[in-house]
Structure 1
């Protein structure tokens, strides 16, 4: 439908259509010497004015609605009305909805338009199919195959194909002569399908014209009634699944399901103890011949069924009460005589239905039986009418007393204080991209609540129940009991969540291609691994807290962090574990570089021939992807005689899962099994569990480190050179863009790199420039990183010693913690 046009119902009764081929129109049918019985729907522009001339009929081939092929002297408008040939409406009872936008006109006839051509035409109202209601058939199906009608539609105009379509028109699309739609042209195109009130968008909207159009109602609306309840629940589930914590889904509650079924007139099972099966609502017989109003003759059975269906289709008690309130009015006589002592205070009431925009009064029996209700809802509405002003009924207030006890602010503060007293650790894998904190696994919210109650009783203060504690813990804190096992790729998540994926497509597919290439390259290196080419993956395991046990007191103190750096050889599947705690060293590039250098020295002692090493790791810039590690690699190939080269290949961010994770998983399972029998008091117990974690094959090799085991790796970079930011071609280099780094013994003044696994050749960076060759000197002696042990925070140390004083930790371990 074009901008500025309106859809109108129109039957033309003009006899001046054509002098040579007269055609007569009645209120519903179009007749001529050749044409059959057809229905007429016209699309008329808003600006069409009455025609004063009598144009000759022009019968043309099928054309588009936008083409103007008629002479200007025949019609005084720039656009013509369309005549759409359809099947007879009274026979098309089993109709199927067809969007108006898909209708195409097969006939173009220049028809004079007059202002008096708007007559009554039955139009099928657009009923929403998303409301539940009883599965009552509105009417009996009719046979739509009429051989005469099929033949007649083919001879209306020669050479034109028959067009058979069904038209469903919403009330919002129907315009009348007195409408004021001068602002219609200013409405955006995206909103042209709806009127200003958007009644088609309201699932609870019921057209008043439903009663007048019962003869053309579609059975499809009844077929979808039973599916609406399931769809409503499904939609609720989809929405409720969003979020980190499980949320309430009221649509899934049995009481709400039963309530929706009850309000929709469907059969349901009572939620009381009786579990009584309630039957579906059925329309009841009309009143008898004794009725003074003769209601059974006023409204047909088909329209009664439509009233019944629309009433229960609302599925809302407040709307049903409003419907009854609208159609029940009090009869107030001029004079009223009340007997002395009579308890009757209410007036008599009249009942009516609105059919074809006509108010039809009916008796109470006819009213109740048509809606399939009893006296109770009517009495409820009448009592509400007496207590309201302006004719508006109050909403249903059952279960909405709103007299909830307000929780004391001191109790809420006590809960938050208890939760804040629990030490949390940051994520090892996702600490750069998430604010979620983690509590050591093994506890639950229920256990925390029990500890909270014990604490409140000792302090003689009131406490809250579990549900309040749970709500505060899950809704106001971003805390989890388990650390994530792998990173989530930011690039993949950004692409999947983006509405407009086109700008991100190139970056996204390049990202996936790099991921596949590095994995294929790792598999190829794994197959070629031998004694002269060592392929290894290294990574730092998640922090292991100490002490650790099932006693609740362990969870309310800050613990000592134990670190485990693993190097997994892909060829031999040997695993080297370097273990230390935070009192001996941190977890930066100096500690990681010292572990890698120690591993390379062990290879030097183990392998007598020349060999090469290829490392794989993640992209942690603070630990291994920086100039200090490159300097350490140059130092290693310079002073280790048999080491020819070191190549470091970085896995793609977000997809850095590797074989080293399997070793971490085996260790963590062994720790979990051990905790079931006894707590872990000191880091030495972790070392024993790591050694015994692998039950088959070679056990893990554990290297116990202390503060004397770490070297100042950053000092090596000063002796190697100063240029790590530009290559030989004077191109700028960012460490974050590097995918592969390689150093060789022959050229210890440079390193080679690739920024993509699709590149065939390396680029070169001269670490020692001409200006720095004389100033820098790579010393063979490494300087120790620490001269003494590292200080542990006083709060952490005091908390652990408190557990020792309470005999929760054996006093045997007191000397160890005092020496921290």
Structure 2
């Protein structure tokens, strides 16, 4: 047994005995009148050679300790019970109303008992002895059976609870010191089988919130540090904790320093008679104003400049004969009587008004040169230890590595995200760190540790993966407690209602009432996409895939384009939708319903609305757009993206046209996906306001009216009217905007020439030709660039 364990046993024994002595004193008077009413079998046995006062003292019993499971009877081994070895041996106590206390150790099998080993132990005690708390509920009530030496339950009316256990517990009956609650005792007395339920708080014992998870703070906030808080309090002149250095001990921050108070005024007779000093002109209110402004509105550097500006230093006028004097000069002290005049006062008035010490003021004045005080931050920077050359070299190499990796923003929530995302060529941070080590090995550079590399990675606000569109902010905020229950339940009702609406429409579309579509944009892709290390520091060509899926026929069309052919604007996506409707939907002469997410620049904007309205008028077909609840926009078109991702695994992409091949191979039955590689002249200019019938699709005009992002359903009729719904259960409302009358509309191409690339990206693509087949070089040579 270690020295610390022995020491712990002594402390615990003293704590338990103090608790029991207090119980004996408190219950002596309460139980004296009730002894005559107790059953005979519960009264203590009569003793012939002992006085009645012996019952008031705890019996001295030998306390034994157990250090392993070998001391537990076989009765417990059959239940596969185990003990938490992070807790010292358990000492259990039995006591009755006759003040007769018995102390036992956990060498016996605890069926129903209360363990006092952790019930009165605080968190500080566990830290002092280097122990961890046991994650199990302590035993409650017990007594000893002399025949079997096992512990049996004690009647509840004989138990006086002394303390409660406030720790965590596992609620598992495999723990040695687990015990049932009061409700479990009532249900298990009639049976010899041990059936332990989850402990409850009906007995008044609170065991903490067992469902609450532990939170991890990744970065510490220096503003919450004790040292920084006291530093601020000291600067503001408030009470704070200072440092003390006891003899032969370490420096501690435990000495309370009082707040800065306005001192007494000067009562010197010399100052009253002197013509130079004006202490009497500064009353209490004026001195308090100076004191308050000095400590509330200034920092230390400003105070130093303020004090040195109020003190003049001159040579000594009176010199004594004899040895050389250490006095270097004389200080004259001044205080401002108004904004334009300073009056001379004595040193006592000056120091008491500003609540400063004489040594502090003299030190500030002596350190000043031409009344200029060096900034404390500049002085601190000179004392900061710079990293060693080896460590500094590692940091510079790592920062250079992270800066040179190509980055691109995600097309999901681009306006709300400030992170930079690495191109999708790394599967995890381990893959990135492995590439970093290879880079350092090739360049003969020192390698930084994995922990420091990850810290620098997050400090630069980088991320490996793009944001996931289906990650709901409201649900995530409710889990951590930032969203109240009312808003969360309203959000869940909207989500369920949107899914119910889509299921109803699927049944109607299956019966042939209308055509049901879903559309979405796949995550960004890059070209070329290979595993060569040369790609890690080069920017590549970005590619996108916009998918439209028929929920009844399962026909899917994928519109692929790179950044030289189209950009991520509303006209681009409107061109795809109009092309699909003309080829597959309009010939059937059925109403069209389109489901999508609420992305504004893709699906819910004025450009898309006017284009669909013009198509509805021209072909006399009703078109309806329905938007799912943000964060819960799972649709059938996502299956197309998933199939493409699976096919892209361990696949090399040399040209954007390779994505066409992968898309067609992603599905065989019922038919391969349709893959279309568009050209720059495919996209039409739907942003021309001359082609708009509605100038806005906002269902309101003044403050407080619904916004565009609140629209859930938009319907375009052949009569040239737009109807909308804020909720799926609302009635149709006409858009409160007067439409324009247009006869014929012609759309022109949006781009007359391909979109040029940046010169840096074009140069990187030229360098990447070294790892690409020769038949691909011509494509990269002919790319338009600045």
TM-score category by the smaller chain? Answer: 0.5 to 0.7
- Which of 734, 753, 767 is the aligned partner of 1:764? 734
Q: CA deviation at 1:485?
A: 4.9
- Equivalent positions of 1:224-243 (< 5 A) are 239=214
2: CA distance between counterparts of 1:126 and 1:521? 58
8 Å contact 2:420–2:463 — kept in the other structure?
yes
**Pair 818,469 (structure 1): closer, same or farther in 2 beyond 3 Å:** farther
Using the size of structure 2 for normalisation, the TM-score is 0.53
Q: CA deviation at 1:622?
A: 1.3
SS at match of 2:621: strand
1: CA distance between counterparts of 2:515 and 2:471? 29
Residues 751-800 of structure 1: per-residue CA shift (max 9 Å, x gap): 100001122x111115435xxx4xx5354211221111112111111101
2:761 corresponds in structure 1 to: 796
- Equivalent positions of 1:13-52 (< 5 A) are 30=32
**Pair 238,490 (structure 1): closer, same or farther in 2 beyond 3 Å:** closer
8 Å contact 2:412–2:469 — kept in the other structure?
yes
- Which of 529, 541, 544 is the aligned partner of 2:525? 544
- Which of 641, 649, 668 is the aligned partner of 1:695? 668
Note if 1:413 corresponds to 2:396.
yes
- Equivalent positions of 1:163-562 (< 5 A) are 164-168=158-162, 223=177, 239=214, 407-443=390-426, 445=429, 448-449=432-433, 451-453=435-437, 455-456=439-440, 462-465=445-448, 467=450, 470-472=453-455, 475-483=458-466, 485-498=468-481, 504-529=484-509, 533-562=514-543
**Pair 166,783 (structure 1): closer, same or farther in 2 beyond 3 Å:** same
Residues 592-624 of structure 1: per-residue CA shift (max 9 Å, x gap): 0111111121136643xx211000000001111
8 Å contact 1:96–1:166 — kept in the other structure?
no
8 Å contact 1:631–1:717 — kept in the other structure?
no
Which ranges of structure 1 fall in alignment gaps of 5 or more residues? 1-6, 14-24, 42-84, 100-123, 136-140, 146-160, 171-199, 204-220, 226-234, 245-321, 323-403
Note if 1:89 corresponds to 2:99.
yes
8 Å contact 2:518–2:596 — kept in the other structure?
yes
- Which of 573, 576, 580 is the aligned partner of 2:557? 576
- Which of 624, 649, 655 is the aligned partner of 2:632? 655
2: CA distance between counterparts of 1:10 and 1:743? 81
1:681 corresponds in structure 2 to: 654
SS at match of 1:647: strand
1: CA distance between counterparts of 2:606 and 2:682? 21
8 Å contact 1:546–1:561 — kept in the other structure?
yes
Which ranges of structure 2 fall in alignment gaps of 5 or more residues? 1-19, 39-51, 58-94, 105-111, 135-141, 147-154, 169-174, 180-209, 220-248, 250-386
2:598 corresponds in structure 1 to: 619
**Pair 133,704 (structure 1): closer, same or farther in 2 beyond 3 Å:** closer
1: CA distance between counterparts of 2:603 and 2:549? 16
8 Å contact 1:97–1:168 — kept in the other structure?
no
Note if 1:707 corresponds to 2:672.
no
**Pair 202,446 (structure 1): closer, same or farther in 2 beyond 3 Å:** closer
Give the paired residue count: 482
**Pair 528,726 (structure 1): closer, same or farther in 2 beyond 3 Å:** closer
- Which of 658, 668, 684 is the aligned partner of 2:645? 668
8 Å contact 2:133–2:167 — kept in the other structure?
no
SS at match of 1:644: coil
2:747 corresponds in structure 1 to: 782
SS at match of 1:787: coil
SS at match of 2:675: strand
Note if 1:603 corresponds to 2:574.
no
2:238 corresponds in structure 1 to: none
1: CA distance between counterparts of 2:419 and 2:437? 26
SS at match of 2:643: helix
1: CA distance between counterparts of 2:453 and 2:35? 81
8 Å contact 1:613–1:647 — kept in the other structure?
yes
Residues 85-144 of structure 1: per-residue CA shift (max 9 Å, x gap): 961222555795699xxxxxxxxxxxxxxxxxxxxxxxx994569956999xxxxx9659
2:777 corresponds in structure 1 to: 813
Note if 1:736 corresponds to 2:698.
no
1:566 corresponds in structure 2 to: 547
Instruction: Work out which structure has the larger RCO, using CA pairs closer than 8 Å and 6 or more positions apart in sequence.
Output: 1
Q: CA deviation at 1:442?
A: 4.5
2: CA distance between counterparts of 1:631 and 1:639? 12
SS at match of 2:649: helix
Residues 419-450 of structure 1: per-residue CA shift (max 9 Å, x gap): 12111233344545544443344435555455
SS at match of 2:663: helix
SS at match of 2:591: strand
Q: CA deviation at 1:813?
A: 2.3
8 Å contact 1:628–1:717 — kept in the other structure?
no
8 Å contact 2:713–2:725 — kept in the other structure?
yes
**Pair 527,405 (structure 1): closer, same or farther in 2 beyond 3 Å:** same
Q: CA deviation at 1:630?
A: 1.2
2: CA distance between counterparts of 1:653 and 1:133? 44
8 Å contact 1:583–1:790 — kept in the other structure?
yes
2: CA distance between counterparts of 1:510 and 1:134? 41
1:754 corresponds in structure 2 to: 725
1:395 corresponds in structure 2 to: none
2: CA distance between counterparts of 1:448 and 1:133? 37
8 Å contact 1:526–1:570 — kept in the other structure?
yes
- Which of 613, 618, 623 is the aligned partner of 1:634? 613
**Pair 565,723 (structure 1): closer, same or farther in 2 beyond 3 Å:** closer
8 Å contact 1:415–1:469 — kept in the other structure?
no
SS at match of 1:687: helix
1: CA distance between counterparts of 2:735 and 2:439? 62
Using the size of structure 1 for normalisation, the TM-score is 0.51
**Pair 166,581 (structure 1): closer, same or farther in 2 beyond 3 Å:** same
2: CA distance between counterparts of 1:731 and 1:438? 37
**Pair 569,33 (structure 1): closer, same or farther in 2 beyond 3 Å:** closer
1: CA distance between counterparts of 2:689 and 2:623? 17
1: CA distance between counterparts of 2:579 and 2:527? 26
2: CA distance between counterparts of 1:438 and 1:168? 58
**Pair 697,40 (structure 1): closer, same or farther in 2 beyond 3 Å:** same
1: CA distance between counterparts of 2:578 and 2:504? 25
2: CA distance between counterparts of 1:125 and 1:630? 68
